[in-house]
């Protein structure tokens, strides 16, 4: 089932970004290096499309380093954009973002024209941790749960450098089903919006194809090649003690185990999408949306024509 999550406070965040962007010099978008395409907010692109952007691939220490380099090259090839890999908890790399922002807006700086930067991202991507690292103090709340930050905050990183933090925001409709599952697997979606077993099965389907040795090593499995997704989840549940009465496996519990291990990178460094894969998923999702819009317009046109014909028949009857 497609995953969607856009609680009420995200509407307020959208409105706040739309109002704030007029006075912003650079937009920082914090992405999850394990899903750099799925964690890029298309709504944010619409709201800030004309501003220079710094894409930060956070949690790169959890991601596949080869794929991270591929994604950095992709984003760095885009106009008015710079991309950096980052582990938000490490102080030295985090300081690089200030220099990158100044390079993107060289005419800003100094007390007369202070740099104004908006930092955005999906929920639970690490914004609060990054800001706390930059400021050297606990300026914002952190937690391994989507939706911790609820209000915009202004933080002075230097006398002429102001950072505006916004709550994590998804978008009203996730048109790429695979992105919805990847976002749920990463913890960016509220827990009430998805089923752990279903998301774990989707995750294992991808891991079997691209990271089978890591899965086998983590869960002490001899060979996963001949197993279907549910069979693999069952074996993981058996190995990790998710057993019910009569020897039945608690697949829900097994799913929670898989998701926890992925988020903590205890399986190893994993990235759930390549540039080519995500572009193919996006193209397919857009094609489906276009077909839906076409059918909807056709249905509306048919309704209007039927209404017009009915009105004409009424008029003819009056005569």
- Which residues have C-beta within 8 Å of that of residue 304, sequence separation ≥ 6? none
- Asked if the domains 9-165 and 195-263 are classified in one and the same CATH topology, the answer is no
What backbone torsions phi and psi does residue 267 show, to the nearest 5 degrees? -80, -25
Place of tokens 């693999």: 232
Strands (E), the chain: 26-32, 53-58, 81-86, 115-121, 153-158, 161-165
DSSP state of 61: G
The per-residue pLDDT for 166 is: 83
Can you say whether the dihedral through the CA atoms of 186, 4, 46, 17 is positive or negative?
A: negative
Please give the Cα distance from 211 to 261 (Å, whole number): 14
Please give the Cα distance from 163 to 113 (Å, whole number): 14
Q: What global pTM score does this model have? A: 0.84
9-165 CATH fold: Rossmann fold (3.40.50)
Interval 84-134: pLDDT, tens: 999 877 777 777 888 999 999 999 888 889 999 999 998 889 888 888 888
Please give the Cα distance from 226 to 232 (Å, whole number): 9
- Which residues have C-beta within 8 Å of that of residue 307, sequence separation ≥ 6? none
286: which strand partners?
A: none
The per-residue pLDDT for 196 is: 94
Please give the Cα distance from 30 to 126 (Å, whole number): 8
Task: Please state the domain extents for the chain.
Answer: 9-165, 195-263
CB 146 within 8 A of CB 55: no
The per-residue pLDDT for 18 is: 80
Nearest to 161 by CA among 101, 83, 87: 101
Per-residue pLDDT of the chain (319 residues; tens, 9 = 90+): 567 766 566 777 788 788 788 889 999 999 999 999 999 988 888 888 789 999 999 999 999 999 999 999 999 999 999 999 998 777 777 778 889 999 999 998 888 899 999 999 988 898 888 888 888 766 555 444 444 444 568 888 888 999 998 888 877 788 889 999 999 999 998 888 899 999 999 999 999 999 999 999 999 998 888 899 999 999 999 999 999 988 899 999 999 999 999 999 999 999 999 999 999 999 999 999 899 888 877 776 666 656 666 556 656 555 5
Interval 49-96: pLDDT, tens: 789 999 999 999 999 999 999 999 999 999 999 999 998 777 777 778
From the options 1.10.1580.10, 3.40.50.300, 3.50.50.60, 1.20.210.10, give the CATH code of 195-263: 1.10.1580.10
- Range 265-268 contact pairs with CB under 8 angstroms and sequence separation of 24 or more: 265/61, 265/62, 266/218, 267/207, 267/211, 267/214, 267/215, 267/217, 267/218, 268/211, 268/214, 268/217, 268/218
What backbone torsions phi and psi does residue 213 show, to the nearest 5 degrees? -60, -35
The per-residue pLDDT for 224 is: 87
116: which strand partners?
A: 162
Burial class of residue 96 in the structure, from the number of CB atoms within 10 Å of its CB (0-12 exposed, 13-18 middle, 19+ buried): middle
């Amino acid at each position: 089932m497609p995953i969607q999550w856009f609680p009420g406070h995200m509407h307020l965040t959208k409105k706040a970004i739309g109002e704030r962007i007029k006075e912003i010099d650079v937009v920082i978008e914090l992405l999850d290096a394990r899903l750099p395409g799925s964690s890029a907010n298309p709504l944010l692109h619409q709201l800030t499309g004309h501003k220079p952007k710094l894409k930060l691939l956070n949690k790169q220490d959890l991601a596949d380093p080869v794929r991270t380099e591929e994604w950095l090259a992709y984003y760095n090839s885009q106009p008015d954009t710079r991309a950096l890999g980052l582990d938000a908890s490490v102080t030295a790399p985090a300081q690089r973002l200030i220099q990158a922002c100044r390079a993107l807006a060289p005419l800003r700086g100094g007390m007369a024209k202070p740099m104004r930067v908006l930092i955005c991202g999906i929920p639970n991507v690490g914004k609060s941790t990054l800001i706390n690292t930059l400021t050297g103090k606990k300026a914002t709340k952190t937690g391994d749960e989507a939706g911790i930050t609820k209000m915009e905050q202004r933080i002075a990183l230097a006398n002429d450098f102001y950072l505006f933090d916004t709550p994590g925001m998804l978008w009203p409709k996730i048109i790429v089903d695979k992105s919805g599952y990847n976002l749920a697997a990463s913890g960016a979606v509220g827990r009430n919006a998805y089923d752990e077993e279903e998301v774990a099965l989707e995750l294992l389907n991808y891991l079997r194809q691209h990271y089978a040795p890591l899965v086998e090593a983590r869960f002490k499995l001899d060979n996963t090649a001949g197993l279907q997704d549910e069979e693999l989840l069952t074996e993981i549940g058996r190995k990790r003690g998710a057993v019910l009465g009569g020897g039945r496996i608690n697949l829900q519990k097994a799913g929670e185990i898989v998701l926890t291990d992925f988020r903590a990178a205890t399986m190893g460094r994993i990235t759930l999408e390549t540039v080519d894969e995500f572009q193919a998923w996006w193209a397919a999702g857009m094609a489906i949306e276009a077909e839906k819009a076409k059918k909807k317009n056709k249905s509306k046109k048919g309704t209007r024509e039927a209404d017009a014909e009915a009105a004409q028949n009424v008029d003819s009857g009056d005569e």
